[in-house]
Each structure stands twice: as C-alpha cells, then as structure tokens.
Amino acid sequence: MVPILSRRIAILSNTVADQIAAGEVVERPASAVKELVENALDAGARHIRIALENGGKTALEVADDGSGMGRDDALRSLDRHATSKIVSATDLVGVQTFGFRGEALPAIASVSRFTLLTAESAGEATEVSVTGGRVNGVSPAARQQGTTVTVRGLFFNTPARRKFLRSVSSEARQAWEVVATLALAHPGVGFEMVIDGRVRLAVPPDQAPDARLSAVWGEDMVRTLIPVSWAQGPVKVTGYIQRPGDAKPTGRRVQLFINGRPFRDSFLVRAVEAGYRSAIHPGDRPSIFLQIETAPDQVDVNVHPAKLEVRFRERLAVERALEEGARDALGTLAAAAPVGQWSGLAPTTPYPGAPADLGPDLFGDEGAAIDPGGPASTEPRGFEAPILQLFDSYLAFESAQGMVIVDQHAAHERVLYEEVMAQLTDVGVAAQRLLLPLTIELTDEELEVVEVHAAQLERVGFDVEPFGARSVVVHTVPSPHPRFDAAACFRELVADLARGRFGGWANRLERFAATYACRAAVKAGQSLSDAEMRELLLRLFASTLPPHDVHGRATIVQLPREELERRFGRR
Ligand SMILES: Nc1ncnc2c1ncn2[C@@H]1O[C@H](COP(=O)(O)OP(=O)(O)OP(=O)(O)O)[C@@H](O)[C@H]1O
Ligand SMILES: [Mg+2]
C-alpha cells in the first residue's frame, strides 16, 4: 500500500487557479488573440482590429465595436466562471457563442499586464487594469461603444511558459492563422490585423463567403478549388476542396467548420483525403475548406480547453459524408474536365491489325451508351490516323472530336496502376526469369520494405531472395515495357516505400501499386515505336478514370475541333 500523505487539502487561491486555467486556455499569444477575438464576435462586433507587437510577446491588442460593458460587468467579467453566455449546463447543447466557460479573461489577466477598456455607450467607458491577476485600478475613461483589451508582457510571471514561446515570426504567424480562421467563420464582420505596424489582413464587413475566402486565402489558392455539396443522412457538407493536380506536399490550407464553428480534426481531414483515392499523388496534401452541418445535439463543443476540437455523436456518419462529398466533387470534376466524355475521346475503331474482338466493345458499355455523334463519328478513322510522339513525352492523335494529347508517362502509370491492383488482388503477372540474377545492396529500411512487401513484389514479378546481411538477389523481373530497367525500378520502388514518399495511402496495396506504377511506367523522354504508342493508347482507353494519373495530374489534354475552327476563324 502506498502511504497516504497526511497533508491538508487547501483550496487554491483564485489567482493560482486562474494561472493553472491559463495554462490550458492561453498557451501562446495566438491563443490570447483567439479568446479576445471570439469575445468580440460574441459581443456582436462589426469591426475588429487586432494589433501585435513582437509576435505578441511584448503586446497584443484587440479592439471591437461590439456591445461593450458597463462598470459592474467589466469588473465581473474578470472573475472566474463569469459569463453572460450560458446559465445552465443544458444551454451548452447547440451553444451559438464561442465563449461559454467564463474563463478566458481571468486566465489571460492572470499571466499578463492587462487592461480592459470598455463602454456600453459612447463616452461612458471604464478602464480596468490588472497585473498578474490582481486588479490595480478601475477608472472612468472615454471610448466609443465597444471594448479594447490590451495584453502586455504575456507570461511575465510564469517564466516556464514564456520559455516555450517560439520565434517572433512563428508566434505572429500562428496569431495570423487564428484571425484568418475567425475571419473565414464570420464573413459579415470586418477584420484588420496589424503586425509590428504592418497591415497583414484587412477585410471589410458584409463580405460574401466566397469573397471572404478569396480575400483570406488569396485568389491564386482559391482558383485551384472545386465546390463540394453533399448531404448524407443527418450530415451536410459544403465548401471547397483542391483540384488533385494542384495539391502539393506542403503549404496546404485546411479549414473545417461544424455548424459555423471552426475546429480541427486530423481524422476528418484524412476522410476527405480518402475521397481522392488514387486521383492524387500520395505525398500531396490538398487544401480543404468544408462546412459540416448537423443537428446541434450531435456535437459536443465542450471537450477541449481552447475549444479547438469537438466531439461527434455519430463520427462515422461525418467521416463518410466527407469522404463521399469529396469523391462526388472530384467525379464531377472528371466529367467537367476539358477532356470531355470519355467515350467520345476514344479512337472510334481499333487500330489496324487488332484482333476483331477488341472492337468498340473494348471501350465498355459506357462507350456504347454515350454515342458521341451518330454514324459519322463511327466511320473508320480512329487509330488509322497517325500517332505523333512530341518531345519523346507526349502522344498526339486525332479523335472524332478533335486533337488529343496524352502524357505517355502519366498514361502508362495509370494503366499499370490498374493492372497491378488486379494482379495484387487476383493473379500475379508472368515474370521473366533472369539468366544472370541481379544482386542489389539495400539499406536496413529498404530491406525491411522488401520483407514486408515480399508477396506484393512477387505478384508484380519480382522474385527476391535475401543475400547476405545487406543485399538481395532478384531472380525474376516484370517487363511492363520494352525500355524497362528492372534494376533501377526495383531500387527506386524500394527506396520510395522506405522513405514513405508515397505515404498517405490508407491502403498498403494501393500504395504499393501506385509506387510501382510510377516507377515502372515508361518515362518522359523515352522514344516509343509506333506499335508501342498504339499499344499504350489502347490500354489507356480500356482503363477506368483515365483523365488523371495516380498523382492526380492530367493524363489527357484535348483540343476540340470547334476550338481549332474558332481559332482559325472558320466559325
Ligand atoms: N469584447 C467584449 N465585449 C463585450 N463583452 C465582453 C467582451 N469580452 C468579454 N466580455 C464579457 O465578459 C465575459 C467573460 O469573458 P470570457 O471570455 O472570460 O468568458 P466567456 O467568453 O463567457 O467564456 P470562455 O471562457 O469560454 O471564453 C463574457 O461572458 C462577456 O459577457
Ligand atoms: Mg470568451
């Protein structure tokens, strides 16, 4: 038994309790900014001005033109659990205000030199100054209706916390993000943020939500987004996600809202990403701006001290709605892409010499159902027309609708990805036995990858055996195309998997298939024979989701005949 310490239980003084609470609510200048701006929004402000000095370490200030407070309320607002926003616990269900705990002001005031200047009506203002949680002055003052909170010397009396602050630029950036998020949540409110004397964000009140998004995220970013609108069961999802081809591994922006309240949830972000499936490069992270709406009693907003996270009753329903919403948006994108209808793009007849059963049926029921243009378009033309290889990288040919340009690497990657997925889950591929086996030296991580993926490697055609402590011997290799370099492909494939370059695939098989497809595909810069080009195109047009490669980049670009005619003044 552990001896019970014979200590008296003492009630902490309010100041100490506030400081402890401050540890949870106020972690850095950005969190103080967040609390103060949220208070201004809760007070119905139309304009909010935020100023930061030295990343907020020296001073930060939030001024609003909201309801303001009279003298008594101003003093009361600094008491713990003083809130005007809820009365009983049941009010928490579907609470509309940001604040409800009555903790923020006393917490911030307990770890700073704090001034509250507030007026319920113009002229009759009260100024309260607090140092480290102790009120040391209350005086009448002048101010328009509204409130200004100034916080100097944040954490001056809690050096341990001060030490954890990051660089000025990092603190300033985080504060900016906080303001940006709240500005996105409230397009009706004007915001101005000044960091060390420079205006870093300025948006007027009464902005339309889309205009606000453009103003905060920038036109360039917003141009890469596509709309999402999806309802599934009790969950509605609207907003934007990034086009697959524009997503990058770094620098993305993510903003989720639940019933108008911004929150964070990396699992929900992943659910959105899952909606991209193979349409995106596994390392790329799309930007996301999504509003989730559901009945208020389905969400608990009181689970995180800084209210950054929420809890859902039916989490799975939310995840599903996000994934399906993203998939739906991307599906629409594929349909709306300039490549036009899939079937219309496909050459109208098989290339000469193709076995008879590779007729139009090859293009599937879809091809038959969407007859692009009556008898004229089914006239034998298609692949009898020459295929031109441009820059040893692109294949150009004529289709019923215009000129089609295919990226040879992207196309081959797409084709291989689907074939490999089939091989991995069904029968393996026939491999070529090497007369002289390859011996390949690998790092520890790479050896582990080979071990973990032994079965998949074999299915795509690599028969691999350990050799000594650091090497493997490769007995058989696949042969996806005539210029295939088996040793290079094997090395790159294993290195990619070891480095996690293709991370982010929920499914290990998909990840393997995407990595293999990327490395095994014919590369840009390799010249192809006529027969090879025809073969590749035929396989591409037999695959599904052809407008994108596994990285989400375009595989096919089309120049419609009407466009040519328009440009040459024939129309
Ligand atoms: N800018 C402001 N304008 C008008 N009233 C304010 C302002 N800031 C704070 N108040 C008043 O002071 C009270 C206390 O604010 P505080 O932020 O400490 O708590 P809260 O917002 O109620 O809850 P939480 O701790 O969850 O933020 C608020 O309930 C509100 O009545
Ligand atoms: Mg508050």
554: which DSSP letter?
B
Ligand 1 atom with the smallest distance to the CA of 146 is 3
Q: In this predicted structure, what is the pLDDT of residue 96?
A: 78
**How close is the Cα of 32 to the center of ligand 2, in Å?**
10
Q: Amino acid identity, residue 465?
A: E
The protein residues having their C-beta less than 5 angstroms from ligand 2 (an ion) are 39, 99, 104
Ligand 1 atom with the smallest distance to the CA of 97 is 21
Ligand 1 atom with the smallest distance to the CA of 66 is 3
Low-confidence residues of the chain: pLDDT under 70:
1-12, 16, 19-24, 332-384, 427-428, 501-507, 543-552
Alpha carbon nearest to ligand 1 atom 9, residue: 39
Pocket around ligand 1 at a 6 A CB cut-off? 35, 39-40, 42-43, 64, 66-69, 77, 82-85, 99-105, 147
**How close is the Cα of 36 to the center of ligand 2, in Å?**
7
Q: Characterize the bridge pairing of strands 299-300 and 47-53.
A: unpaired
d(CA 389, CA 527): 8
Distances, alpha carbon 395 to alpha carbons 386, 419, 534, 548, in Å: 10, 21, 10, 16
**How close is the Cα of 85 to the center of ligand 1, in Å?**
8
Ligand 1 atom with the smallest distance to the CA of 103 is 25
Which bound ligand lies closest to the C-alpha atom of 66? 1
Non-local (6+) Cβ contacts of 488 within 8 A are none
Q: Which mutation among 35, 39, 48, 80 tests ligand 1's pocket best, with the greatest number of atoms within 8 A of CB? A: 39
CA dihedral (496, 288, 550, 338) in degrees, to 10, reads -150
Alpha carbon nearest to ligand 1 atom 21, residue: 99
Ligand 1 atom with the smallest distance to the CA of 149 is 1
- Contact between 111 and 19 (Cβ < 8 Å): yes
**How close is the Cα of 100 to the center of ligand 2, in Å?**
7
List the beta bridge partners of residue 353.
Answer: none
Distances, alpha carbon 92 to alpha carbons 23, 87, 300, 486, in Å: 23, 9, 8, 62
**How close is the Cα of 36 to the center of ligand 1, in Å?**
8
3: which DSSP letter?
P
Distances, alpha carbon 302 to alpha carbons 91, 184, 299, 425, in Å: 12, 21, 9, 45
Provide the phi-psi class of 197: left if phi over 0, else alpha when psi is between -120 and 50, else beta.
left
The length of the chain is 571
Alpha carbon nearest to ligand 1 atom 4, residue: 68
Q: Amino acid identity, residue 241?
A: I
What sign has the CA pseudo-torsion 519, 416, 513, 480? Answer: negative
Q: In this predicted structure, what is the pLDDT of residue 452?
A: 87
Q: Which mutation among 77, 128, 178 tests ligand 1's pocket best, with the greatest number of atoms within 8 A of CB? A: 77
Report the 10 Å Cβ neighbour count for 182.
Answer: 21
List the beta bridge partners of residue 63.
Answer: 49, 148
Alpha carbon nearest to ligand 1 atom 19, residue: 102
List the beta bridge partners of residue 321.
Answer: none
d(CA 77, CA 128): 11
**How close is the Cα of 297 to the center of ligand 1, in Å?**
24
**How close is the Cα of 97 to the center of ligand 2, in Å?**
9
Report the 10 Å Cβ neighbour count for 425.
Answer: 10
3-state secondary structure (DSSP) of residue 221: helix
- Model confidence pLDDT, tens digit, residues 92-122: 777 778 888 888 999 999 999 999 999 999 8
Ligand 1 atom with the smallest distance to the CA of 62 is 1
Q: Amino acid identity, residue 530?
A: D
d(CA 22, CA 106): 8
List the beta bridge partners of residue 33.
Answer: none
Alpha carbon nearest to ligand 1 atom 27, residue: 99
d(CA 518, CA 497): 12
**How close is the Cα of 104 to the center of ligand 2, in Å?**
5
Which bound ligand lies closest to the C-alpha atom of 305? 1
Which bound ligand lies closest to the C-alpha atom of 100? 1
Structure tokens at 77: 């607002």
Q: In this predicted structure, what is the pLDDT of residue 365?
A: 28
CB-neighbour burial class of residue 260 (10 A; exposed 0-12, middle 13-18, buried 19+): exposed
Q: Which mutation among 75, 80, 105 tests ligand 1's pocket best, with the greatest number of atoms within 8 A of CB? A: 105
Q: In this predicted structure, what is the pLDDT of residue 83?
A: 81
**How close is the Cα of 89 to the center of ligand 2, in Å?**
17
**How close is the Cα of 289 to the center of ligand 1, in Å?**
28
Report the 10 Å Cβ neighbour count for 128.
Answer: 24
**How close is the Cα of 103 to the center of ligand 2, in Å?**
7
- Contact between 367 and 400 (Cβ < 8 Å): no
